[in-house]
Amino acid sequence: MVTRTGTAWDVAAATPDPELPMVTVGDLGILRSLDEQDGRLVVTITPTYSGCPAMREIAGDVEYRLRAAGFAEVEIRTQLAPAWTSDWITADGRRKLLLAGIAPPAPAPRRAGPVPLTLGRAPAATCPRCGSVRTSRRAAFSATACKALHTCDACLEPFESVKAI
Amino acid sequence: MSMSDDNPYDFLADEHSDDHRWAYGTGFTDPLAGVDTSVPDGVDAYGLASYCVSLGDDALIYSHRLQEWVTRLPELEEETAVANIALDLLGQARMLLGRAGAVLGRSEDQLAFFRSESQFHNVRLVERHDDDFAELVGRLLVFATWRLALFERLTSFSDPVLAAIATKGVAELTYHRDYAAQWVVRLGDGTELSHQRMQAALDAVWAFVDELFRAHPGELVTIARGEVDVVLDTVLATAGLDRPDVPPLALIGGRAGRDGVHTEALGYVLAEMQSVARAHPDATW
């Protein structure tokens, strides 16, 4: 059965991420919930990183798409808890990242007790181009807050990965 | 040339209309829009707001000092790293000042741009200008290690908004601390010259460390200095560096950064950071 909120969810979820346009906010797990309250759509999104400049654009874009799809009353809310984790990126989202040459994130670290210090080499990401695990992380940061920079020692190509957080 | 080639915004967006473009810097909205900012029973609202201002000021001023490095760093990887760290801290500052502002009835911009030096409550560690890259990573190691320990404690704080901001911050600060620690080890355990300069940088930063652990009535959580020292000592031992033995920066009449008493350096940060907002107080993007 096609419901009104189901349709709205599909419209909102299909919004591309401004910085990673090959994936949608649905793929990334940024879209948390969508409810209809007194004829008004209340859409809840969650930030990936505290300073992510894309959040405002995402909120505006989701609202624009819903209005264009005929939903007159739309309210976008921010949800901070539970905090976004890269584990929420869907299987489809991971496949799209890989096809775009970006290594999807490894499972996020789950800890009890203090965060351990990492002084040694970072765990190797799998090269999205040739599939080799002989890769080196060049930087823990890259062109956006959510990615790290690597090079593949097998095919010698540089690539990015989505950080596991 | 088609119309879409003329306009880079249209070219980037996959649907073309005047009110729907992907371009950053078109405006800012409350980072806590739609978040329930009511203060739970049993939490002192003013105390919570004051503490959030302190933690927000630490991040805001330090983010500004890190931003000064952008375009001046030795390699592209360091540019992206330091810019991302500054951006994370700016995001933390916005949420913390937003949280405080929800109680105080002031916007994040009013708090950031329309307070004077004595109304800022950041620790003095974040105020100085870094003289070289070793000072950047030395101070970042101290700051991120201390703030990470503090934020880990805050993840279970009784105000759910502050707890959520801290939980998000923990993931970010973990990256900041690792970045700084790895550079301190690389420089400390590098050449004779890099070792000397890394040691000198730590000596310059260390006078500000004591203040981080000074008991203050406004602190809503406390951490034991030992928690931070164990991490710093591990890094310094791996790097072959000595923990500096320098006297702490003196208090002024028993007061320090948290009390609104600052070093001269803060005035220069504020002058630059606040000048545009103060010249055009009603301007919007």
Q: What is the DSSP string of A87-136?
A: GGS-HHHHHHHHHTTEEPPPPPP--SSSPPP--SPPPPPPPTTT--S-EE
Whole-number Å distance between alpha carbons of A8 and A4:
6
| B275 is a domain residue | yes
| A35 is a domain residue | yes
- Tell me how close the Cα of A79 comes to any Cα of chain B, in angstroms: 6
A139 in contact with chain B, both atoms CB, cutoff 8 A? yes
| A44 is a domain residue | yes
> Which residue does chain A place closest to B156, by CA atoms?
A81
pLDDT, averaged per 10 consecutive residues of chain B (285 residues), comes to: 46 47 55 87 95 98 97 92 96 96 94 97 97 97 98 96 95 95 97 98 97 92 94 97 96 95 97 93 75
Name the average pLDDT for chain A: 91
Number of domains in chain B: 1
Test B24 with A149 for CB contact under 8 angstroms: no
Sequence length of chain B is 285
Name every chain B residue with its beta carbon within 8 A of the beta carbon of A139.
77, 80-81
pLDDT of B4 reads 43
The whole domain housing B246 covers 43-279
Instruction: Indicate which CATH number applies to the domain containing B242.
Output: 1.20.1260.10
User: Is there a single domain that holds both residue A78 and residue A129?
Assistant: no
Task: Please count the other Cβ atoms lying within 10 Å of the Cβ belonging to residue B157.
Answer: 20
Instruction: Indicate which CATH number applies to the domain containing A10.
Output: 3.30.300.130
Whole-number Å distance between alpha carbons of B172 and B170:
5
Would the ipTM clear 0.85, i.e. be above it?
yes
In the numeric block, which tokens belong to residue B274?
A: 């606040």
Test B91 with A49 for CB contact under 8 angstroms: yes
Number of domains in chain A: 2
- Tell me how close the Cα of A132 comes to any Cα of chain B, in angstroms: 23
The whole domain housing A136 covers 101-106+122-162
| Average pLDDT rounded to a whole number, residues A48-76 | 89
Range in A142-146, A147-151, B51-55, B274-278 the model is least confident about:
A142-146
| B94 is a domain residue | yes
Test A114 with B19 for CB contact under 8 angstroms: no
User: Is there a single domain that holds both residue A76 and residue A137?
Assistant: no
pLDDT, tens digit, 9 for 90 and up, residues A85-130: 999 999 999 999 999 999 999 999 887 778 888 887 777 899 999 9
| Average pLDDT rounded to a whole number, residues A34-46 | 92
Test A75 with B91 for CB contact under 8 angstroms: no
| A47 is a domain residue | yes
Q: Residue B124 in contact with residue B256, Cβ under 8 Å?
A: yes
3-state secondary structure of A42: strand
Tokens 């930087």 identify what position?
A139
User: Is there a single domain that holds both residue A79 and residue A9?
Assistant: yes
Test B168 with A117 for CB contact under 8 angstroms: no
Sequence length of chain A is 165
Name every chain A residue with its beta carbon within 8 A of the beta carbon of B20.
60-61, 64
Disruptive mutation site among A141, A142, A150 for chain B (greatest number of B CBs within 10 Å): A141
Burial class (CB in 10 A: 0-12, 13-18, 19+), B153: middle
Give which of B4, B276, B263 is closest to B123, Cα–Cα.
B263
> Which residue does chain B place closest to A84, by CA atoms?
B168
| A117 is a domain residue | no
Give percent of chain A above pLDDT 90: 65
pLDDT of B261 reads 97
Whether the per-residue pLDDT at A60 is higher than 60: the answer is yes
Give which of A58, A56, A151, A141 is closest to B66, Cα–Cα.
A141
Whole-number Å distance between alpha carbons of B25 and B167:
27
Q: Residue B92 in contact with residue B256, Cβ under 8 Å?
A: no
| Average pLDDT rounded to a whole number, residues A40-54 | 87
Minimal Cβ distance to B88: which of A49, A76, A82:
A49
Disruptive mutation site among B174, B185, B233 for chain A (greatest number of A CBs within 10 Å): B174
| A39 is a domain residue | yes
Disruptive mutation site among B64, B87, B97 for chain A (greatest number of A CBs within 10 Å): B87
| B24 is a domain residue | no
Taking every pair of C-alpha atoms in chain A, what is the biggest distance, in angstroms? 58
Residue A51: band (very low, low, confident or very high) from pLDDT cuts 50, 70, 90? confident
Whole-number Å distance between alpha carbons of B107 and B270:
18
